[in-house]
Structure 1
C-alpha cells in the first residue's frame, strides 16, 4: 500500500491556484480564493501518485483504491452531515460525502437541480437562478435550449464549489396529478430523452457530474416510499426506461439516482434487473448509482444489485453492517471496490480531485437575462380567438387580476428539495411596468388580488369592467411529497376566471402551473397562454409575451384532457393503487399500482381510445402562421437498418417572426400491436415573415430511441418487424397534415 510522503513526480497546486484565481468562471459568475484547507489539501495531494493528471481516470482510481484502508472505503460509501473543512462558512449541511485529506479525497458536494440549484450543500441554502420549470423546458422542443439550461445550472454549480447536480429528472407524466411533474420533461419518452441528454451535456461541460433521476417509475408522490409498480416488460422499456437509456447512450451521464418505489416487488435501489441487467449490461453505463435520500433498504443486497452510494447518510452502508456482510460472505471486497471505483472514475474525469473547493459569486444579472430568454421560449399559446394577443400597448387601462400566489409575486418553481431560493424576482406588476415602458405606453394598471375564498371577487369584476383589457393570472404550484388532489385549479379559481371573463371579453388568461389542468371555462376565454412556473423572471417573461416582444413558440409536452375520466389513470388500480393483502417484512401493506393501460399513455392513449383531448400533445400557436408542405420520404423500401430521411418545407406565411416545431410520428405495422403513432423526430425552425426553409429529419433505426423497434420480452431485446410503417408530419399530435409510408423487408437469409 502506498504511504503518504513518497516523492511525487508532478506538482499540481500551481495549476489549482491559477484556476481558482481567475476573475470570471463559466456560467456568469465571479470566483473566490481557495481556503487554507484547500492549500493544506494540495500540499498533501502533491505527493500522491493518483494525483498525477497525466494518468487516466481509471488508473488514478485503481491507485487510490489500492491505498485505502477498509475503514476509509466504508466511510466513502455514504453521505454524512457535518462541517465542510474547505467551506466552514457553509455551516453543517447534509449533502456531501466527507473527504479524506491524507488521501487527497475532497469533500464531495451535491446539489439538487431539475429547475436550478435547489437544496444544496450549504446551510442556509445558497441562492441561485430560478429557471422555468423543467416541463416548460420540455415545451420548448429545443435541444439547444436544453443545453443552455444545463450549461447555466452547471456553471452555477461550479461557481459555488459543488460537484454533482441531481438533474435532469425524466420520469414521464403518466399522471397529471403527480406533484413532481414540474421537475420532469412531459409524457413522451423520446422528447424527454432528447432534451435530457442535451441538458446533461450542458451540465457536464462545466465539469459537474449530472444525474438522471428517478430511476425508475417514480411517477407518483402518493405512497412513493412503499408503492409497488406492476408493469409489463415491453411497456417498461419502450416508455419509462427509454429517456434513461438515451441519457446514458447520448448524454453519457455520469450518475443515476435510483428511486423510492418498488418495481415488480423489489425496491428500485436494490433491483438487480434495473441496476445491473439493464443499466450496466444492456446499456453499458459506466457511472455510479446513488440512492434517493432514504431510498436504501439493505446493505449487501443493495450493493450486490448495483447501488454504489447511499444518501443522505449511512443507515445501511455503515461500518458495522459492511464488515458484517464481508464476514458472512454476503458481500465481497470486489463489490465494495467496484462501488467506489464507479464514482471515483467520474470524479477524476471531471477534475473534482484536481481543483480547490471555492465558493464564488453568481453573476445574477447575466444569468437572470439567460433565464428570461429561456422562459420566453417555453410558453405555449393554447388559444387566441380574434387575435387578442399580442395586446395593443396603446390601450388606456389594464386590469391585472389573480390570486396572491400568481399576481403578487413571481412563481419561481414548485416545492420540495428542488426549490430554488432565487437571487431576485420580478413580480407581474413590475414586469408589466417594464414592458409598457419599453413600448412607450402610458396605460394605467389596476391590480386586484383576489382572496383565496373569492370574498372580494366583486372588486375584481368591477376592475375588469372598467379596463380596456384584462390580464388574468391563475395556476397551481405543486410540490415533492404530495400529489394534487385533482386536475382542477385550486382555491376557487375556476369561478374567478368565469366571473372576470364575463365582465370583460378582452381577457387574456395566463396559466402558471407545472401540469395539465381542467378548463371548464375554456369556451368563455378568448386567449390562453400557458407560461408554466416561469422562474424568477416571471413578470418580465409574461409581459414580454403578452405584448409581443417575444412570440410564443412552445408546444405542449403533455396532453390536456377535457375531464379526469378521459385520462388513462382514472381508475384506482392505476392510481393511486390498491391494497391486496401484500405485506412487507414488518407486516405493513404494500400498495399495488398497475400500469394496465400498457403502452397507451399520454397522446398514445387518446389516439388509441379515439378520445379528443382539450389540447393535444405538441399543440402550440404563434402570433404568426406557418405552412408545412411537400413531404418526401426516402428510401421507400428498406431492410430496417438504413437511415430514413423525412424532408419537407416550412414557411412563415404570417407577418411576424416566429418558430414552428414540425413533428414526425411513426405508425408501426399492425403486427406490432402498438398505439397508432409515436414521436420519432422534431425540429424547432425559426423563420422571418415570408421565409421558407427545407427541413430534413433523420430517422435512424440504430438510434438510442429505437424508432422502428419494439421490445421483445421473450428475447430480452429490441426487434424491428417487417411491414408498412406510416410516416406522419404535423405541428401537433392531432394535427397531422402530411402522410407517407415506408416498407421494411428483411432480405431472405438475413435477420435484424
Structure 2
C-alpha cells in the first residue's frame, strides 16, 4: 500500500496531468515564478508605456491608444480554453498580448490563501478568524504572505478579501468575511489589501454589494435604504478603495433595487467611482453578468465565468447565462448599434491596465505554467505566520478556575475526542467549503490530535483518542482521562446557508461539500458530562448553540484555523501561545434570539427587505436589551486588565481619547481595548458603535497609555437629504472597555457645534 507521501505525489501528478492535457500556457509561460519578482527587459515597441516613472494613468492611456479594437475586446473577458480550474488550478485568466508587452492576468481565490486546485500553498485562518485577531500589523503580514505565494504560483490577481457583513449567522459564507461590524471589517481589510499588493499582485474587494446570504444569491433582489447601506454594508468597501487603494472590486450575483449588481450604475459608477474615487477595474463574479451593453455602460470592466458556453440553469456555485456577454461578436454588435460607446470600451481597458501599472505587474510579469503549478511555495516562515494568526484569532470563551493553560508537570492522560480532531477530519474542519477551499495537496494540515500528541510527548503526558460518534466510547475515554479535549466541527460553505445553529461537520472536495451525520452537540454534552476537566474546541465558521456550556471547564473558539490549526491549539493548551482573539460577531443563546421575518430573511418571491435598518449584530441586541451568549468584542485571554483615566478632547473636526491599560494578572498577555461612540438621540443611531481599538502586549503589572484618534466620520451619520455625511450637533458618549458589554470608562464630548 502506498505511503501517505506517495499517495500525495500520485494525486498531485494526476491533477497536473488533467490540467496539462487540456491546458496551454500563457504568453509568458516559460518558467516558474518561485525565484520571486524580477524586472523584465523593455521592448522598444512598448517604450511609450513601459517607463515605471510615468504616472499609471498616463501609461494606461498610451497603451490603450496603441491597441486595435480586437486587442481591446480581448482584454475585457476571460480566455476560452482551458476553462476555470483547468488553467493550472486557477479561477480564470486573460491571456497577455506579447506584442504590446501586456502580461497575463491570472486570477485565483482567495482570502485564506492561494486556493482553487493549487498545490503546495499555505492555508491561513479564515476571514472571521482573521477579524478575531484585532491585529492590523499581523493582518498585513498575512496578506503579504498570501500575495507572495500567489506571485510564485504564477498568479497576479487574488480574489479577496471578502468583506460582506454578517447580517445573519445563517449565511453559509460568513466564515470568509470579517464579522458584523463595519468599522472592524474596514480596519482588517485595509492592511490585508496592502499586504497582498506589496507584491506585484492585485487584491479584489468582494462581493459588491449587499451579498449577505447564499440562499437565492444568484437572483435575490435586495431593498435597503441608502443610509443603512452607507453606514453598515458599504464602509469596508469604501475603506478598501480610499485607504487600501484596492486594484479591483468584484460585483456580486444578487440584485439591488431591481438591477443586478454587475449592471447597477448606482453601485458601480455613482458610489464606487464618483463618491469614493475608485480607479481600478470592476470584475464580475463568475457567471454574474446578464447583459452586454447595459453591464458595460453601468461600470463593469471585466467579465468572468467558469465556462465560455451557455449555462441556462443556475447552480449553487455558478450563475446561469450565455457564457460570454463580453465576447468580441457581442461587443461589436453593441458598438454598431451604439448601445456601447467606443469611449466606454477604452475606459474599461484603461481601468484594467491602470492597477497593473500601479502595482508593477508589467515590470514583474508572472510566469504561469507547469513548473509554477507544481512548485511548493509554503515555507516554514509562512507556516509560522499562519500559526501566529491562528493563535491570535482564537477566542477563549470560558476558563473556569484558570484551567488553561495546563501546568507543565506532566504525567497526565489526555483524551482527544472528535472526528474534527483527527488528520482526516481536520482537512475539512480547518476551512470552509466553496471557492475558498484549496486542493489540500500535498496534505499540510496539522490536526489537533497531531499537535497535542507532539507537545504532550515533550511534557510527559499520554494521549488517547476516540472519534466520538459512539456515545459509550466518548463517555468511557473521557471519564478515564485526567483532561478531555473534545473538538467539534461545523461545516459552512459557499452555495448554501446553514439551516440552524447546530453543528455538523462536512467533507469537502474542491468546491463541493457534503455534511456528515455526526451529532456534535451530543458528543460534546457526553464528554463534558463525563469529565469536569473538559476543554471544548469549536472548529466552526459561525455562531453555534452551546447547551453544554455550563459543564465545560474551558471553551476555545479558533473558527477555521487553517493548516497550522493543530499546532496553534496545542501551544495554547500548554501556554506557549495565548488565545488573544476577540469576537467579531455576537454569539446568540439560540435561534430564538434571531428575529427575522420571511421578508427580511431569506426573502419572499425572490425579494428581501433589510427593514431592520442599522440594527445588525450587537446593534440589534443592544437596542432590544437582549443578553447574548457572548457579546461582540468578548474574549478572555490568559490575564486580566484594568482600564483607567479616560480623557477626551476635541482635535480638529474629530477628537482624541487617551486612557491607560494595566495588566493585573501574572502572565504576559494582550489587551484589546475597544472604544464605542453613542450619538445624541436626534441622530437616530444605534445605542453604541465601535469606532476605535488597539491591541497591546503587556507584561504582568505593566501599564500603557493608549491614544485613539477619532476622525469626523466617527461622529457622522449619512444624510440622504444632504447626500453626504453630517454630524448631528449634540453630546456624544465615549465608552471604553474590553467588549461591547463591558465598558467601564465613560466620558462625553460635544460635537457638531
What TM-score bracket applies, with the shorter chain setting the length? Answer: 0.7 to 0.9
Unaligned runs of 5+ in 1: 1-16, 580-590, 747-752
Using the size of structure 2 for normalisation, the TM-score is 0.87
Pairwise CA distance, 1:281: 0.7
Match of 2:97 in 1: 100
Match of 1:671 in 2: 682
SS in 1 for 2:747: strand
1:740 to 721, 744, 747: 747
CA deviation profile, 1:719-739 (whole Å, cap 9, x unmatched) = 111011010111000111111
Aligned residues: 684
Match of 2:211 in 1: 218
C-alpha spacing 1:331/1:628, structure 2 compared with 1 (3 Å)? same
Q: Which moved more, 1:600-609 or 1:74-83?
A: 74-83
Pairwise CA distance, 1:46: 5.6
User: Given that residues 420 and 487 in structure 2 are in contact (C-alpha distance below 8 angstroms), is that contact kept between their aligned partners in structure 1?
Assistant: no
Match of 1:644 in 2: 655
Pairwise CA distance, 1:59: 2.1
Match of 1:434 in 2: 454
Match of 2:695 in 1: 684
C-alpha spacing 1:182/1:745, structure 2 compared with 1 (3 Å)? closer
Pairwise CA distance, 1:565: 2.2
User: Given that residues 80 and 94 in structure 1 are in contact (C-alpha distance below 8 angstroms), is that contact kept between their aligned partners in structure 2?
Assistant: no
Pairwise CA distance, 1:519: 1.1
Match of 1:421 in 2: 439
Unaligned runs of 5+ in 2: 1-27, 309-322, 505-517
User: Which structure 2 residues correspond to residues 417-566 of structure 1 after superposition, within 5 A?
Assistant: 417-422=435-440, 424-437=444-457, 440-451=458-469, 456-490=470-504, 491-566=518-593
Match of 2:81 in 1: 82
1:382 to 375, 394, 397: 397
SS in 1 for 2:549: coil
Q: Which moved more, 1:105-114 or 1:219-228?
A: 105-114
Pairwise CA distance, 1:630: 1.1
User: Given that residues 200 and 364 in structure 2 are in contact (C-alpha distance below 8 angstroms), is that contact kept between their aligned partners in structure 1?
Assistant: no
C-alpha spacing 1:246/1:633, structure 2 compared with 1 (3 Å)? same
SS in 1 for 2:203: strand
User: Given that residues 656 and 708 in structure 2 are in contact (C-alpha distance below 8 angstroms), is that contact kept between their aligned partners in structure 1?
Assistant: yes
CA deviation profile, 1:53-102 (whole Å, cap 9, x unmatched) = 34332222222211211122111110124369xxx996586510112222
Pairwise CA distance, 1:460: 1.1
Pairwise CA distance, 1:329: 1.3
1:596 to 611, 626, 634: 611
User: Which structure 2 residues correspond to residues 43-442 of structure 1 after superposition, within 5 A?
Assistant: 48-82=47-81, 95-119=92-116, 124-312=117-305, 313=308, 315-358=324-367, 359=372, 361-393=376-408, 394-404=410-420, 408-410=424-426, 411-422=429-440, 424-437=444-457, 440-442=458-460
SS in 2 for 1:146: helix
C-alpha spacing 1:601/1:91, structure 2 compared with 1 (3 Å)? closer
Match of 2:514 in 1: none
Structure 2 distance, partners of 1:731, 1:607, is 16
Structure 2 distance, partners of 1:731, 1:249, is 29
SS in 1 for 2:357: helix
Structure 1 distance, partners of 2:529, 2:577, is 28
What is the alpha-carbon root mean square deviation over aligned residues? 2.2
Structure 2 distance, partners of 1:387, 1:678, is 31
SS in 2 for 1:536: coil
User: Given that residues 109 and 159 in structure 2 are in contact (C-alpha distance below 8 angstroms), is that contact kept between their aligned partners in structure 1?
Assistant: yes
User: Given that residues 132 and 394 in structure 2 are in contact (C-alpha distance below 8 angstroms), is that contact kept between their aligned partners in structure 1?
Assistant: yes
SS in 2 for 1:576: coil
SS in 2 for 1:131: coil
Pairwise CA distance, 1:525: 1.3
SS in 2 for 1:523: helix
SS in 2 for 1:736: coil
Q: Which moved more, 1:325-334 or 1:395-404?
A: 395-404
CA deviation profile, 1:138-186 (whole Å, cap 9, x unmatched) = 0011111110110111111121121111111110111101111111000
Match of 1:586 in 2: none
Q: Is the counterpart of residue 700 in structure 1 residue 711 in structure 2?
A: yes
CA deviation profile, 1:678-697 (whole Å, cap 9, x unmatched) = 10000001101111111111
Using the size of structure 1 for normalisation, the TM-score is 0.88
Pairwise CA distance, 1:304: 0.8
C-alpha spacing 1:471/1:383, structure 2 compared with 1 (3 Å)? same
SS in 2 for 1:382: strand
User: Given that residues 390 and 568 in structure 2 are in contact (C-alpha distance below 8 angstroms), is that contact kept between their aligned partners in structure 1?
Assistant: yes
Structure 2 distance, partners of 1:251, 1:183, is 19
Q: Is the counterpart of residue 720 in structure 1 residue 735 in structure 2?
A: no
